[in-house]
Structure 1
Amino acid sequence: MKITSIETLRTEEFANVLWVRVHTDSGLIGLGETFYGAGAVEAHIHDTLAARLLGRNPLHIEAIHRDLVNLPMAQSSTGVEYRAASAIDIALWDLFGKVCDQPVHQMLGGLCRDKLRIYNTCAGYGYVRSTNIKPVSNWNFGAAEGPYEDLDAFMNRADVLAESLLDSGITAMKIWPFDPPAIENQGLFITAAQLKKAIEPFEKIRKAVGDKIDIMVEFHSLWNLPTAKKIAKALEPYQPMWYEDPIRMNSPQALAEYARSTDVWVCASETLGSRYPYKDLLERDATHVVMVDLCWSGGLTEGRKIAALAETWHRPFAPHDCIGPVGFAAAVHASFSQPNTLIQESVRAFYTGWYKELVTVVPTIKDGYVYPMEGPGLGIDLLPAVFDRTDLTTRRSAL
């Protein structure tokens, strides 16, 4: 079997999402995905990577993966090169599963559990829908209607939101009320009034539901170290489950100082590409929970190595999801196949909303748990309607 063509697809409406379809002479097609900078990733795939793929055996996944990231400009980042390699890698694993008529989680080693706890990232329907990815300005309130506008809810009705999540069996939630003052003050400081305002959601949640729900705090790497430490101390009485990306993830020493300053776990980081920066953080005792985005960090091939690295340091693994539906499916497969997976991120405004406009199936989530996906490969495909969209752009490189 050999790769005969590489096809990419993107739409104007879902402008951040890029799908990759790897075609073979057997007729089987592997589906992958990445997120952000779709046009740039598309160009890199066709202008640079296609020549490294066409004519090759798609089951030589490790060898292909090495070739895709063995470029002078692809050095452990989540830039265009790694996002492109990630999408192709996910497609190759999907193809591998289809060849063997097994789900990807089986190809990765099989199930480590029958169900897995989820948390709800409290985004809304319009969150990250536009190509503007600057925090706060990409919140897009009112972009779509539905019962789960959870970003507006955590900012204004966090108590009601926590009760709603518990009613559906979800016992963990992630919020980011510190982003507005971070943007206003360029991450340099936070005033007493701003600190008090940002803490209000935590007060409402604990008053309404007590300790029945875990709270993760996302900081989007927006703060300098002294201010991040100040915020961490202020939040400790509310017993957050973890602090995620409080500072830029480019200094293991600084993050280690932060980790020593608080009793709350540090989670890092969806922003890292390849296993190597994770090794630097782990060697410094700078992180407690290892988070990875498979669509950015090198795909399933690199993701399982990062999970193994985390396990070597006795740390839990927690795949990221605030991206597209194929990436979410890949994360679920990875989560079930790794013994140290702690919890799976999910966004109910996405998997009950726009994901269903694009793919044939989404992972089953019930009573606060996600269940293994069925069928060969990822068990997911693009809906036929996607190929008929008037805003669809496709590009193909072929033998």
Structure 2
Amino acid sequence: MKIEKVDVWLVEGIKYNWTLLRITTDNGLTGVGEATNWPGSPLVYHAAKHLGERIIGLDPSRIDYIWSKLYRDLNWLGPTGVMMCAMSGIDMALLDLKAKSLGVPCYELLGGAFRKKILLYANYWFIKGGHNPEDYVWQAKEVVAQGFTGLKFDPFAHTNYLFGDDLSSNLTLTSAQEDLAYDIVRAVRETVGPDVQLAIETHAMLSMPTALRMAERLAPLNMMWYEEPVGPESANTLKYFRERTNVPICVGERHYSRWGFRPVLEQQLVDYIMPDITRCGGPSELKRIATMAETYNIQVAPHNPNGPLSTLASAHVCASIPNFFRQEFMFTDVPWRDTVISRPLNIKDGYYILDDTPGLGVDLVDEVMEAHPGITEMKPGFYV
């Protein structure tokens, strides 16, 4: 059996454009994957097409061999970024293809299931109103009413992608912005009660003094975690923050592969990690990262503001690891999210419910993807 072709699509999503792909073998077997990242989705799209050409003729069952070959061949381009995203999608599709060929779900190839109900937390639930406590409150009620017991949001007005991107502040907040951020979090906490967990996102867009000050101020509101208080560039910077606060910390959406997570884990700088399956190296690498994290008693909560295949593949990895915490889920998305795949995502009462359907359990629906294309041309502008 050999890889005969790799097809790639860029499909419009509500937040990101999804890079979706299908690998086809010479005997007609197929596997599907996702390589979504933000921003610059045309770059990822073209990288996935390029890597697809590089694996033509290879045996698709040699998943780890292909991963290692691509990583070594492309290392001169850097071990992070668009090439790793493309590798992630290919790895996902290869795992799906092999599992389908064997008639087993992907989690069986990852070691078997610890669980088949995957606890989710909701993101992107706050987009219908403005950046004020009142609009966050009524939307939080809607999310909890649908069974979700974890919510994530960015209460910092000047850094939130929806409410402005003013870079003149140099990652600081005015007193009014600090008060507003606190008021939003407090209002949500008072609305949902003590049993719903709240993750506070910063997008690594706060200066160190601001991040420290707001962490201390928000701590009494009982955060699930304080996300990305600093950027991924230096573990020493994260260590500086860690030593000056007692809030739970989660990082990982901008860390690529096991090597990117290594210093964070070795120095035990966080309480949770959130690898993104479409960025970190795919399901194979996410499983390896989770195993590394287990040795430091750190839990895994995959980042997932992506398309439906990312949600599915992340759930399969989460099923297979002992140190799973929660998986991110896009509460609001485009109406065609469930129609680009051959059956809808199985979400019930804040959980993803897995079954024993072979592979990831779905195929891509070409006509729906083609009806909602993302922009693939490389031209000036800011792409999602």
Paired position in structure 1 for 2:33: 32
Paired position in structure 2 for 1:43: 46
Contact 2:114 / 2:322 at 8 angstroms: preserved in 1? yes
Aligned counterparts of 1:113 and 1:289: Cα–Cα separation in 2: 19
Aligned counterparts of 1:383 and 1:329: Cα–Cα separation in 2: 16
Asked if residue 291 in structure 1 is aligned to residue 280 in structure 2, the reply is no
Paired position in structure 2 for 1:20: 21
Contact 2:158 / 2:173 at 8 angstroms: preserved in 1? no
SS of the aligned residue for 2:364 comes to coil
Give, in angstroms, the shift of residue 100 of structure 1.
Answer: 0.6
Paired position in structure 1 for 2:318: 335
Aligned length: 368
With structure 2 as the length reference, what TM-score do the two structures score? 0.88
Seen in structure 2, the aligned counterparts of structure 1 residues 24 and 155 have a Cα distance that, compared at 3 Å, is farther
Paired position in structure 1 for 2:202: 219
Give, in angstroms, the shift of residue 67 of structure 1.
Answer: 1.2
- When structure 1 is superposed on structure 2, of 56-65 and 251-260 the one drifting more is 251-260
Task: For 1:104-183, list aligned pairs within 5 A.
Answer: 104-123=106-125, 149=128, 152=130, 156-180=134-158, 183=165
Contact 2:171 / 2:206 at 8 angstroms: preserved in 1? yes
Contact 2:17 / 2:374 at 8 angstroms: preserved in 1? no
Contact 2:6 / 2:53 at 8 angstroms: preserved in 1? no
Give, in angstroms, the shift of residue 384 of structure 1.
Answer: 4.6
Contact 1:13 / 1:391 at 8 angstroms: preserved in 2? no
Asked if residue 265 in structure 1 is aligned to residue 248 in structure 2, the reply is yes
Task: For 1:367-378, list aligned pairs within 5 A.
Answer: 367-378=349-360
Contact 1:9 / 1:393 at 8 angstroms: preserved in 2? no
Give, in angstroms, the shift of residue 74 of structure 1.
Answer: 4.4
Give, in angstroms, the shift of residue 12 of structure 1.
Answer: 6.0
- When structure 1 is superposed on structure 2, of 82-91 and 199-208 the one drifting more is 199-208
Give, in angstroms, the shift of residue 270 of structure 1.
Answer: 0.7
Seen in structure 2, the aligned counterparts of structure 1 residues 29 and 259 have a Cα distance that, compared at 3 Å, is same
Aligned counterparts of 1:154 and 1:95: Cα–Cα separation in 2: 46
Paired position in structure 1 for 2:309: 326
SS of the aligned residue for 2:119 comes to strand
With structure 1 as the length reference, what TM-score do the two structures score? 0.85
Q: Which runs of 5+ in 1 are unaligned?
A: 125-140, 142-148, 395-399
Contact 1:121 / 1:345 at 8 angstroms: preserved in 2? yes
CA-based RMSD = 2.4
Asked if residue 355 in structure 1 is aligned to residue 337 in structure 2, the reply is yes
Give, in angstroms, the shift of residue 170 of structure 1.
Answer: 1.1
Give, in angstroms, the shift of residue 337 of structure 1.
Answer: 1.0
Seen in structure 2, the aligned counterparts of structure 1 residues 12 and 290 have a Cα distance that, compared at 3 Å, is closer
Corresponding residue to 2:238 among 223, 239, 255: 255
Aligned counterparts of 1:163 and 1:66: Cα–Cα separation in 2: 46
Contact 2:99 / 2:105 at 8 angstroms: preserved in 1? yes
Cα deviation 1:214-254 (Å, max 9, x = unaligned): 10011111122222111111111111110111111111111
Aligned counterparts of 1:280 and 1:21: Cα–Cα separation in 2: 34
Contact 1:176 / 1:218 at 8 angstroms: preserved in 2? yes
Paired position in structure 2 for 1:3: 3
Contact 2:125 / 2:140 at 8 angstroms: preserved in 1? no
SS of the aligned residue for 2:188 comes to helix
Contact 1:159 / 1:207 at 8 angstroms: preserved in 2? no
Paired position in structure 1 for 2:379: none
Give, in angstroms, the shift of residue 269 of structure 1.
Answer: 1.2
SS of the aligned residue for 2:158 comes to helix
Q: Which runs of 5+ in 2 are unaligned?
A: 377-384
Paired position in structure 2 for 1:59: 61
Contact 1:157 / 1:201 at 8 angstroms: preserved in 2? no
Corresponding residue to 1:100 among 102, 122, 129: 102
Asked if residue 317 in structure 1 is aligned to residue 300 in structure 2, the reply is yes
- When structure 1 is superposed on structure 2, of 32-41 and 258-267 the one drifting more is 32-41
Asked if residue 73 in structure 1 is aligned to residue 76 in structure 2, the reply is yes
Cα deviation 1:287-338 (Å, max 9, x = unaligned): 1101110101110111111000110111001111101111111111111111
Identity %: 31
Give, in angstroms, the shift of residue 123 of structure 1.
Answer: 4.1
Paired position in structure 1 for 2:382: none
Paired position in structure 1 for 2:380: none
Seen in structure 2, the aligned counterparts of structure 1 residues 384 and 85 have a Cα distance that, compared at 3 Å, is closer
Aligned counterparts of 1:389 and 1:306: Cα–Cα separation in 2: 36
Paired position in structure 2 for 1:82: 84
Aligned counterparts of 1:173 and 1:122: Cα–Cα separation in 2: 9
| 2:345 maps to amino acid | P
SS of the aligned residue for 2:76 comes to coil
